[in-house]
Structure formats: structure tokens, C-alpha cells
Structure 1
């Protein structure tokens, strides 16, 4: 098989990333830049798009130079079609269309959620786990079945990352490097657990009520010196993570699996990993998780997932290289998984990371 090389563009939220990856899973470069707002503020689509416009071309130059490749060495250009914020998504879509015309290279549109899963699988070597995808915009429990990543449970309102981020604004915590990270660090100092609403509905979860409660009722306790900000962060983390572990364990039982892979920005949280690892161990399984290089949005995950599709003949025409804020995980036909699963069944051996050939994941250079 030809050793395809792709450049990937990710810009669905407040991070703009460009990565260069080869089909065997080698990351040649993966620079990114984060739009950081003042404490107490979130990031708006328009301002975020302006940030991405400012940094996309310098990141392309940095990615190519660090990887030691030229446009002639690139086989395809991959970009995030969705889901995500409309204006930031458009920046990457336009950049890819322009470069496709300049370089004469095909385009591959990628689902952001599926990219997180495939990057997690190739980094950790997880074969066929139940996936917990947790980020600022998404919360889903996923498992692969018959050509698609099926959603077994999800949030019915806001994502867990959005819940944490919005509470960080209440406490005016810094957004550098991220509000969720700063909540995690503060939670380690918490000593008092406060009862918060625990909302699990079958396989789904709800976080808006918890957020409303802790924004109003619990913050009153701060004024009365009944608890500390660390206690609130600790209580919030313990509650929402317990909900996530519960629905993930239920999915494991339903799918008759043992292993769990955590992906997405919130997946960096060490307390969430600890709680999930305990559950997996009790069921005889294993937890697979990564650090912020791969959990957090990056261009390499888009490039690698696009390459998996490109290697099976999938491309996106210039006219169809648009973006959408709503792009469900289970809308994607994961043709690379379908073929590899069939080969495993026929040969009793097969790839562990979705590629027709056995993937070895070698990190040559990673830039934050």
C-alpha cells in the first residue's frame, strides 16, 4: 500500500489546529493555537473565527516545515465538516478549498466526533471498546456496529464540558489553558461534598439542571461561608462523572464488551479517568485514555481519519466541501472499520487500529 500523507484542519471550536499524518499513523507535525478569553467569559463564534483566520496560514507553514514535507508530498487535504460552531468551521472549509485549488489535491470531509474516536484508537491501541466521548460541545456513549459508530446514550441538553466551563465563569476562573483544567485543579483541594441533582434518564444524562442549581443555590453557600470554591468544584466533578460512569457501564453490559476508551477534551481529566478505570477493572476490562495532545482538538486527528477514508476511495468534491453545525456521529459510514472487521473474521487476525495494514503509531514530533 502507498504510504499516503494528509494534512488535516481542525477549527470547530476555540482551537485551530493543522496536522500532517501518514497512513501508518505517524504524526509528522501537529501545531495548534487556542483562542483564550478573559476570566468569566466564553468564546463567541465571530471572534473565534477571526482568531482562526489570523492563525490558519502560519499554522499551515509551521505544520509543513516541522513535518519536512512540501505540498507536492501531500495526497489529500482533510477538514472538519462538523459538528461545531458555524463561523469557525467555515474558516477551515474555505482554507481547504483554496489550498485544494492551488495545490491540485483532493479533499476529504471528516466528522469531528469520529476523528476523536479514531485518534484515540490509534494512539492507545484500543481494538473495539465502548467509547465515552466528552467535550465542551458533545457528550455521547458510543460503540461500533455494522459499519457505523452507534450512539447508545448522550446528553439531552448541554455537554458535560459546557457545564464545567460555564461554572468556571461563575467562579471567574482563568480560561488559560482551559476552564475545565482549572476546575480539575481546584477540585483536588475540595474537602466537603455537597449534594447536587443527579440526572440519569435511562442511557441519557442531563446537566442543565445541575448547572442551574450550583449557579444559584450552591453559590449562596459561598456567601454564607458554608463551603469553598474548591468544595463546589469537587462536588460538581464527582456528581457529573458518576453519571457518565453509570451510563458507560450500562452500555458495556448491553454491548457485551469490557473495555472503555475516553476521548474528547474532558477525557484529559484525571479524576474521570480514575473513576472509569475503577469501573472497568471491576468488570475485568481496561480503560484506554490519552493526554491533552490527543484528547483536545487537533489537526492530526482530522488528517488521520480523513486518510482512513481516502485509502478506501472516499473524497469530497469542491462543491460539497461545506460545513454543518450538526453532524451526527452515526451518520458516518466507517468503511475502514467495516473492511477491517471482515478481514479479521476471515483471517482470524487483523488490524488493531482500523487500517488494512497493521498500524504502528510513531510520534516523531508533536507541538502544542
Structure 2
């Protein structure tokens, strides 16, 4: 089975093609192509309308590149998949419309995929973990999940902003371009020094807005790398 997937939840428009083969009672999958292009705002965070325009402008090229890299045609595909959410609505629309158009034009089944569960599924595929409890952290989500009775259940989550958003917000205050999360992570690797910052945990839930605000107040008192590591 070969499936073409379209990702457009936020700043990146991506096209991937995977092949799954059944070997005995197990299944093996292989990534045949992974093409992507990222919208980079001139300043600040993601501008939804501009990000959607970026995705629209690059969709055709990325689709063609993915097919070329995988050495397949649309006729060789068994299904078209797309990120159904969560994500930025304007960006999600571009991916959804593109996927629906391809599905109808080439008479292929259309599969909507939950963006969060897709991340977890890749982890379970690569680690061969079964029914894992998962700490899921991304730009827009931070959750503690566990698989039970055929579905994932949320046992804890952020009460305000996600950890990825918190890192991006701090990075902007420090003057780094979007996405700032990778910049913060690289800075943190440069020191073992930390300063004390408070962060609330309520049961299985957590909060990052207060932590980010406190870190912003320390700008100028501590170096960027110490703030990042804290």
C-alpha cells in the first residue's frame, strides 16, 4: 500500500509518500519521499493568512517533487491523507482542499488524520511500543496521553499555552527569528547553569504562561543561554 500525505497545520507545507508492506502478522513501512517548505515570517510569529498563501504557492511544486522522489504516479497510490487538525484553520484549509481535489481527480480514498495522533503513531512505529503512555509536546499542544480500549485518552494537559508556544514567545523577546524553539534548544545546550523559575503543576495538568513571563522578566539579568536552559 502506498499513501500520499499532506501536512499543513502551521508554518510548514509538507508532502510525504509512504509504503506499507505486510510481512507475516507484522507490518513494515518505508518513507519514499518527504518534501516540505516552511513559511518564515519577517517578524513576530505566524501570520495565518500569509502562511496559507505560502502553502498555496508551494503546494503544486512540492507534490511534483514528492512524486518524482518516490518514483510513483498518482495511479500508483492507494489513498490520499491530510492533516485534519488541530492547527491553524487557514493553513489547514489549504491542505484539506488540495487533498480533496487530488482524491476526486484521481479517484482515491480520502483519509483525514489527527495531527497529534500522527506524531504518536510514528513514535510507536519506530519504537515498536504497544499501547504507550505518552508525553506529547509540540508548538500548539502539551498533553499526557495513554492508549486504552482502542483510543487515546487525555490524563493531563496545559492549562494555558503549549510548551512550544512558550519557547517561541521567549525567543521573540530575546530577538530570535521564528520558529524560536530550535534556537532556545541550541542555546540551552551551551551551559549547565540555571536560574530558579517557578512553574505550577496541578494534578496531571501544567501551566507555562507564568514560567514564560518570569523568564522574560529575567532578560538582561541572565544570559540568553542561561534563560534557555532554565
Q: Same fold (TM over 0.5)?
A: yes
Confirm or deny that 1:28 pairs with 2:23. Answer: no
1:135 counterpart residue number: 138
Distance in 2 (alpha carbons) for counterparts of 1:102 and 1:191:
55
Stretches of structure 1 that go unaligned for 5 or more consecutive residues are 236-368
8 Å Cα contact 1:190-1:233 kept in structure 2: no
8 Å Cα contact 1:164-1:179 kept in structure 2: yes
Higher relative contact order (CA 8 A, sep 6+): 1
Match of 1:16 among 13, 17, 31: 13
1:42 counterpart residue number: 45
8 Å Cα contact 2:44-2:177 kept in structure 1: no
Match of 1:165 among 165, 168, 176: 168
Equivalenced residue count is 223
1:113 counterpart residue number: 116
When you count helix as a share of all residues, which structure comes out higher?
1
Alignment of 1:348-363 (within 5 A): none
Stretches of structure 2 that go unaligned for 5 or more consecutive residues are 22-28
Confirm or deny that 1:126 pairs with 2:129. Answer: yes
TM-score normalised per structure 2: 0.93
When you count strand as a share of all residues, which structure comes out higher?
2
8 Å Cα contact 1:192-1:227 kept in structure 2: no
Distance in 2 (alpha carbons) for counterparts of 1:190 and 1:26:
38
RMSD: 1.3
8 Å Cα contact 1:190-1:232 kept in structure 2: no
Alignment of 1:71-86 (within 5 A): 71-86=74-89
1:318 counterpart residue number: none
Deviation at 1:129, TM superposition (A): 2.1
TM-score normalised per structure 1: 0.59
2:182 counterpart residue number: 181
Deviation at 1:141, TM superposition (A): 0.9
Confirm or deny that 1:218 pairs with 2:218. Answer: yes
Deviation at 1:227, TM superposition (A): 2.1
* Secondary structure of the structure 2 residue equivalent to 1:182: helix
Distance in 2 (alpha carbons) for counterparts of 1:192 and 1:74:
51
